[in-house]
Structure 1
Amino acid sequence: MGAWSCLFFSGMEGSKGFLHQLYAASGNFWQNLWDSVYKLFGRNNFAVGVIDTTGKPGFLMRYKVQMDKNVPVDRKKLKKAVKLVLFNGFVVSFPMTLLGIYTMKLRGCAFSGDLPTFTRVMVELIMFSLVEEFGFYYSHRLMHHPIVYKYIHKIHHEWTAPIGIICIYAHPLEHCLVNMMPVILGPIIMGSHLSTTWMWYFITLVSTTISHCGYHFPFLPSQEAYDFHHQMFINCFGVLGILDRLHGTDYIFRASKAYKRDKISLSLTPMSQQYPD
């Protein structure tokens, strides 16, 4: 057992060394890139981005999860969504981001030009994901309490067949407590470097857009669980599915055909054809 353990950890160390070299490859590419950004904008910069998708080319329709919904998208309904999304994206998100930056400074997060190591970045991204899972799951379940749902969360569920832009179509209070807070908390708790925080924000923006896009594209993360949540108003309250399994709030989903489709497709054949109703 001792020999196998030594061999295993040696392999782990070798892999870590290789990944660290890859991270620092091409003349310390990431460090040089960060130095350029740091010199250009200084210590007090931050980024706010909203990634949204609304275009649906005809040849992609075969990958749509709910084939008969939003074809085409109701223009009046879309216009209403765009107005609230812009309000949340700029009016609500801006002060929340400033508060996050201020809190990061109080926490002692690094805003310097020296980047963290590859290992630290990977560990922090994992921790961010766990913090988000915890924060999003419980705040999201709170939003489904009958009293709260009626006045706040019902807005988000007006779209039973989601599209990318509605990822932040929500009551402003929900946008702060459910969409942003669980994402911001991880970097603050970990005392992370600003560059790692930016990377995390980018990952979450892409992830939430994919989860709301309404299409199960090949080679991309599955959004079947969250689409099921919008369609049925029940189950699948978390991001990773860990707390849903722990609390049993995925049992209906696991009994559905959507659960079989809930995986990354490595084929150009739509999942709806691989696992037909």
Structure 2
Amino acid sequence: MELSWNGLLQKHRPPVIEFWGTLLVQLVFFWLPSLFYLALDHVAPNLSQRHKLQPRTKQPTPAELKDCLKVVFRNQLLSALIHISLLSLGGLADGKPTYRFDASLPPLDQVILDVLACVFLREVLFYYAHRILHLPSVYPKIHKVHHRFTAPVALAAQYAHPIEHFFANSLPISIPPMILHCHVVSFWVFLAVELLETTTAHSGYDFLSVLAEKHDAHHEKFLINFGTIGLLDWIHGTDERTRQKRVA
């Protein structure tokens, strides 16, 4: 693997590797899971219905899914254009890549530590961005787009207003590995983990019940479960159990 990595470094500049590697991770860990969850209704309808968290009457229509596909394509194209622009500007500024491109690949324990640290920082950034999106002055103009799907599907994880997609979806994932100056491979592993988490959380299925049930409850009740790992929801009392105790 290290020989292949060094061969890649010799043939291509770091910004090129970063861009295409990130695009490949998006394809494998966002599009494939999203299409898998969508296909279940057609290839295994009985299995699909047994594991759906919400009834058939709440599921999105084919027209809504088509619109979802268009919006997600638009958001990913916008992200790609911004990514290319930032890589170009970074190269003009100092020639240094955003992440580390060491000749040696990071050891497994370092990758795990990097990913755990990035997950924590992403939780902080995403939680507060998400809370801002639910402010009465912001929600109707921006975040209401994402909440169109009261019974979410995996593809709808990136169904959002462009402003939300940039500030709540993209930046909380891009910033942590930049702050920690991670190896680009650690960034890709972190990105893969987060994409799998968000597609599963929005899938509408109970296969990984904790993730999906929590986010399904957020789409249904709006004012709970703003984070992903639950730490800041617990601290701020916005997890479902804490709110139920307060109401009781």
Structure with higher helix content: 2
**Aligned position for 1:195:** 185
Query: Could you list the runs of 5+ residues in structure 1 that have no partner in the other structure?
Result: 1-29, 257-277
Larger Rg: 1
SS at match of 1:213: coil
Note the C-alpha offset of 1:254: 7.0
Task: Tell me, in whole angstroms, the C-alpha distance in 2 between the residues paired with 1:173 and 1:114.
Answer: 37
Q: Is the 8 A contact 1:107 1:188 kept in 2?
A: no
**Aligned position for 2:81:** 95
**Aligned position for 2:49:** 61
Q: Is the 8 A contact 2:58 2:150 kept in 1?
A: no
SS at match of 1:240: coil
Q: Which amino acid in structure 2 is aligned with residue 173 of structure 1?
A: I
Q: Deviations over 1:150-190 (max 9, x none)?
A: 10000000000000110000000000000010101111011
Q: Equivalent of 1:83, from 70, 73, 76?
A: 70
Note the C-alpha offset of 1:117: 2.2
Q: Which amino acid in structure 2 is aligned with residue 247 of structure 1?
A: H
- More RCO (CA 8 Å, sep 6+): 2
Q: Deviations over 1:79-104 (max 9, x none)?
A: 211111110011x2113333665669
SS at match of 2:140: helix
Note the C-alpha offset of 1:204: 1.2
Q: Equivalent of 2:226, from 237, 241, 247?
A: 237
Q: Is the 8 A contact 2:225 2:240 kept in 1?
A: no
**Aligned position for 1:126:** 116
Instruction: Give me the CA root mean square deviation.
Output: 2.5
Q: Which amino acid in structure 1 is aligned with residue 2 of structure 2?
A: Q
Note the C-alpha offset of 1:119: 2.3
**Aligned position for 1:31:** 2
Q: Which amino acid in structure 2 is aligned with residue 86 of structure 1?
A: F
Task: Tell me, in whole angstroms, the C-alpha distance in 2 between the residues paired with 1:106 and 1:172.
Answer: 28
Question: 1:168 and 2:158 equivalent?
Answer: yes
Task: Tell me, in whole angstroms, the C-alpha distance in 1 between the residues paired with 2:71 and 2:135.
Answer: 23
Task: Tell me, in whole angstroms, the C-alpha distance in 1 between the residues paired with 2:174 and 2:215.
Answer: 21
Note the C-alpha offset of 1:36: 5.2
Q: Is the 8 A contact 1:211 1:227 kept in 2?
A: yes
Task: Tell me, in whole angstroms, the C-alpha distance in 2 between the residues paired with 1:63 and 1:40.
Answer: 47
Note the C-alpha offset of 1:216: 1.1
Q: Is the 8 A contact 1:216 1:224 kept in 2?
A: yes
How does the TM-score come out when normalised to structure 2? 0.81
Note the C-alpha offset of 1:233: 1.2
SS at match of 1:151: coil
Distance 1:235 1:206, change over 3 A: same
Distance 1:203 1:78, change over 3 A: same
Q: Which amino acid in structure 2 is aligned with residue 232 of structure 1?
A: K
Q: Deviations over 1:211-252 (max 9, x none)?
A: 10100116x763111110011112000011000000000145
Q: Is the 8 A contact 2:68 2:159 kept in 1?
A: yes
Q: Is the 8 A contact 1:136 1:179 kept in 2?
A: yes
**Aligned position for 1:264:** none
Residues 155-234 of structure 1 aligned to structure 2 (within 5 Å): 155-217=145-207, 222-234=211-223
How does the TM-score come out when normalised to structure 1? 0.73
Q: Is the 8 A contact 2:151 2:216 kept in 1?
A: yes
Task: Tell me, in whole angstroms, the C-alpha distance in 1 between the residues paired with 2:98 and 2:141.
Answer: 38
Identity %: 30
Task: Tell me, in whole angstroms, the C-alpha distance in 1 between the residues paired with 2:81 and 2:244.
Answer: 42
Task: Tell me, in whole angstroms, the C-alpha distance in 1 between the residues paired with 2:74 and 2:242.
Answer: 33
Distance 1:33 1:236, change over 3 A: farther
Q: Equivalent of 1:250, from 226, 239, 245?
A: 239
Query: Could you list the runs of 5+ residues in structure 2 that have no partner in the other structure?
Result: none
